[in-house]
Amino acid sequence: NAGVTQTPKFQVLKTGQSMTLQCAQDMNHEYMSWYRQDPGMGLRLIHYSVGAGITDQGEVPNGYNVSRSTTEDFPLRLLSAAPSQTSVYFCASSPDRMNTEAFFGQGTRLTVV
Amino acid sequence: SQQGEEDPQALSIQEGENATMNCSYKTSINNLQWYRQNSGRGLVHLILIRSNEREKHSGRLRVTLDTSKKSSSLLITASRAADTASYFCAYRSGGYQKVTFGTGTKLQVIP
């Protein structure tokens, strides 16, 4: 049981490049989400999903796309990377969106130059 | 922004002392959770308190919730060097499907 797995752990992109951050969970959780963490800002929600085929925007969705074709996977796509997207990205999952804890991946540190 | 506020932003104490950190939020909530983040790592869940609860304990952790003041506090008793980390509150509100995190308190416990 690996929990929540994020890949890659580190990535450097040039401005304008696109890439996909991968997130997979093996706990059969319905709820998955993506956050970015910047110094002094805490975690801010980018996108979330309440089940396969269902996604919605969080607080800071611009410049990011998501899809949820399976329960296990929730990839985050950067369409055209910008320096403002330099951040640490965390994926999280939980069995229920209301009253249970969330499990986090170890994060992806992304630098856009 | 609906982001919760935590204070203090940073806290430095001696091993054995108690550490208290506070979280204030802006909406009505279903529950409030506290998480710990060690440097460079993901967040780990510590404790959850429901909106109809006022206090909850787990080992050396004590959490209180005051829904009238829209605030919560986390107390770590008899702190250890291993408690050095950042601590975040997080909450869900109403039928809202999003979880909002506070800005975090960075705790340093000096041996």
pLDDT tens profile B45-96 = 999 999 999 999 999 999 999 999 999 999 999 999 999 999 999 987 655 5
What are the residues whose beta carbons fall under 8 Å from the beta carbon of B42, sequence distance 6 or more?
A4, A90, A104, A105, A106, A107
Q: Which residues pair with B47 in a beta bridge?
A: B34
Q: Give the span between the Cα atoms of A96 and A94, in whole angstroms.
A: 5
Q: Give the span between the Cα atoms of B20 and A32, in whole angstroms.
A: 30
- Is B92 close to A56, i.e. CB distance below 8 A? no
Give the closest residue to A59 by CA, choosing from B3, B73, B67, B60: B3
- Is B101 close to A43, i.e. CB distance below 8 A? yes
- Contact assessment for residue B61 and residue B46, using Cβ atoms and an 8 Å cutoff: yes
User: Residue B97: its chain A contacts at CB < 8 A?
Assistant: 31, 48, 50, 56, 97
Q: Give the span between the Cα atoms of A15 and A21, in whole angstroms.
A: 16
Is the preceding omega at residue A83 within 30 degrees of 0, hence cis?
no
Quick one: tokens of A19?
């890439």
Q: What is the pLDDT of residues A61-110, one digit of tens each?
A: 999 999 999 999 999 999 999 999 999 999 999 987 656 788 999 999 99
- Is B48 close to A104, i.e. CB distance below 8 A? no
Cα distances from B11 to residues B56, B71, B89, B104, B110, in angstroms, run 22, 19, 16, 11, 11
Helix (H, G, I), strand (E, B) or coil at A85: helix
User: Residue B2: its chain A contacts at CB < 8 A?
Assistant: 59
- Is A106 close to B90, i.e. CB distance below 8 A? no
How many Å lie between the alpha carbon of A101 and the closest alpha carbon of chain B? 6
